[in-house]
């Protein structure tokens, strides 16, 4: 049972970045823009957040307060960085995949450059202890307390909060309906007076915000509040894309997909702690490959009835039909 708790406790902080970034990807794709640049967006948020945490870590604020402040900083950084995509893809009608690729190349170089010039290292190292050993009161609940409120981070709570908000925004608001219309049939949306380009700008910006927060939460929950330009976010931006596709562009399904991937990854990194798996004597690299192999298999199984937004990746041109 301890092993089970351990896995769940470790899985949740890993799943949150995937969840948030995949939700961000969902918002852009629902508006009709493909965001391959999520990896770069994550890095921008992670770097801005960690940098700000580094700046204010000595000011005596509590770690969770720092986390909230830096989360906002990361969101702003992600939103600004994502404008590179919206400007190119929406205004200039450029190839969205190329722009995303450029964004992914840009950010590691920028991080390495800034870090090497200012810290003479490959990234930012902070000393904020975000880790929460036990949440008061809630941590005492039997089973549930052990699973969700011990050895965890504030990020988990915020992550699920954002999931609920995203679901409501997408399905229960006028804005959500309009956003989805722009991704399915922009000309129909345009004909009833929706400003398609504006909606797409908003969609991309939301993904920037969520991507930035997701990136910062990656650095909080997985790399102890540090971030460097070489390892970056270890392909989480791309994994999030797979999570989004696996989740069929729907928030709740995306959550389950994120949990699934996070579980596989946690398993890969905690093999020595699980006697049953450790006794099998399989090299850990096999387990490290598993999330990626699983992605391919899962996509192969779900691709037949894919519910991708119909107009994604196609620049909106009013004069065409």
Question: Candidates 20-28, 72-80, 216-224, 241-249 — which segment interacts with other proteins by CB under 8 A?
Answer: 241-249
Comparison of 39 and 146: residue with beta carbon closer to other proteins? 39
Q: Which of 253, 190, 262, 199 is nearest to 15 (CA)?
A: 262
Restricting to residues 160-189, which ones interact with other proteins according to CB under 8 A? Answer: none
Shortest spacing between CB 65 and other proteins, in angstroms: 32
Q: Which of 179, 181, 170, 28 is nearest to 97 (CA)?
A: 28
Question: Candidates 13-21, 171-179, 182-190, 284-292 — which segment interacts with other proteins by CB under 8 A?
Answer: 284-292
Which of 161, 273, 293, 317 is close enough to bind other proteins by CB under 8 A? 293
CB 74 within 8 A of CB 192: no
Comparison of 51 and 84: residue with beta carbon closer to other proteins? 84
Beta bridge partners of residue 132, listed in sequence order:
152
CB 25 within 8 A of CB 295: no
The residue count for binding other proteins (CB under 8 A) is 45
By CB under 8 A, residue 289 contacts other proteins: yes
Which of 61, 102, 158, 314 is close enough to bind other proteins by CB under 8 A? 102
Restricting to residues 78-97, which ones interact with other proteins according to CB under 8 A? Answer: 84, 88, 92-95, 97
CA dihedral 214, 216, 217, 219 (to 10 degrees): 130
User: Residue 278: CB partners within 8 Å, gap ≥ 6?
Assistant: 271, 272
By CB under 8 A, residue 106 contacts other proteins: yes
Which of 161, 286, 317, 318 is close enough to bind other proteins by CB under 8 A? 286
By CB under 8 A, residue 314 contacts other proteins: no
User: What crossing angle do the helices spanning 38-56 and 196-221 adopt, rounded to 10°?
Assistant: 50
Which of 18, 36, 74, 163 is close enough to bind other proteins by CB under 8 A? 36
**Residue 11 burial (CB < 10 Å; 0-12/13-18/19+)?**
buried
By CB under 8 A, residue 22 contacts other proteins: no
Q: Give the number of C-alpha atoms closer than 13 A to the C-alpha of residue 229, restricted to the C-beta side.
A: 19
Q: How far apart are CA 241 and CA 40, in angstroms?
A: 13
CB 54 within 8 A of CB 126: yes
Q: How far apart are CA 240 and CA 313, in angstroms?
A: 18
Which of 43, 70, 132, 245 is close enough to bind other proteins by CB under 8 A? 245
Shortest spacing between CB 71 and other proteins, in angstroms: 26
- Interface residues with other proteins (CB under 8 A) are 36, 84, 88, 92-95, 97-99, 101-106, 108-110, 112-113, 116-117, 229-231, 235, 238, 241-242, 245, 283, 285-286, 288-289, 292-293, 295-296, 299-300, 303-304, 306
């Amino acid at each position: 049972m301890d092993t089970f708790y351990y896995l769940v406790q470790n899985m949740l902080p890993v799943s949150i970045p995937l969840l948030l970034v995949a939700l961000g990807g969902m918002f852009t794709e629902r508006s009709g823009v493909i965001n391959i640049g999520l990896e770069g967006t994550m890095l921008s948020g992670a770097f801005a957040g960690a940098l700000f945490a580094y700046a204010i870590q000595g000011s005596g604020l509590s770690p969770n307060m720092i986390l909230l402040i830096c989360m906002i900083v990361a969101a702003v950084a992600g939103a600004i960085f994502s404008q590179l995509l919206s400007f190119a893809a929406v205004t200039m009608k450029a190839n969205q995949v190329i722009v995303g690729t450029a964004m992914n190349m840009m950010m590691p170089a920028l991080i390495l450059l800034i870090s090497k010039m200012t810290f003479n290292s490959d990234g930012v190292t902070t000393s904020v202890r975000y880790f929460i050993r036990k949440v008061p009161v809630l941590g005492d609940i039997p089973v549930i307390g052990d699973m969700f409120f011990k050895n965890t981070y504030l990020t988990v709570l915020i992550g699920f909060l954002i999931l609920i908000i995203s679901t409501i925004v997408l399905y229960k608001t006028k804005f959500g309906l309009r956003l989805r219309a722009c991704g399915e049939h922009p000309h129909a949306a345009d004909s009833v007076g929706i400003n398609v380009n504006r909606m797409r700008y908003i969609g991309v910006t939301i993904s920037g915000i969520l991507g930035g927060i997701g990136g910062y939460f990656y650095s909080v929950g997985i790399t102890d509040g540090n971030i460097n330009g070489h390892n970056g976010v270890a392909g989480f931006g791309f994994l999030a894309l797979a999570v989004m596709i696996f989740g069929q562009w729907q928030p709740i399904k995306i959550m389950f997909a994120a949990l699934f991937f996070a579980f596989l990854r946690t398993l890969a990194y905690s093999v020595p702690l699980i006697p049953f798996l450790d006794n099998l004597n399989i090299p850990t690299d096999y387990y490290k490959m598993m999330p990626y192999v699983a992605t391919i298999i899962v996509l192969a199984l779900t691709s037949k009835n894919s519910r991708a937004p119909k107009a994604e990746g196609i620049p909106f041109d009013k004069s065409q039909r």
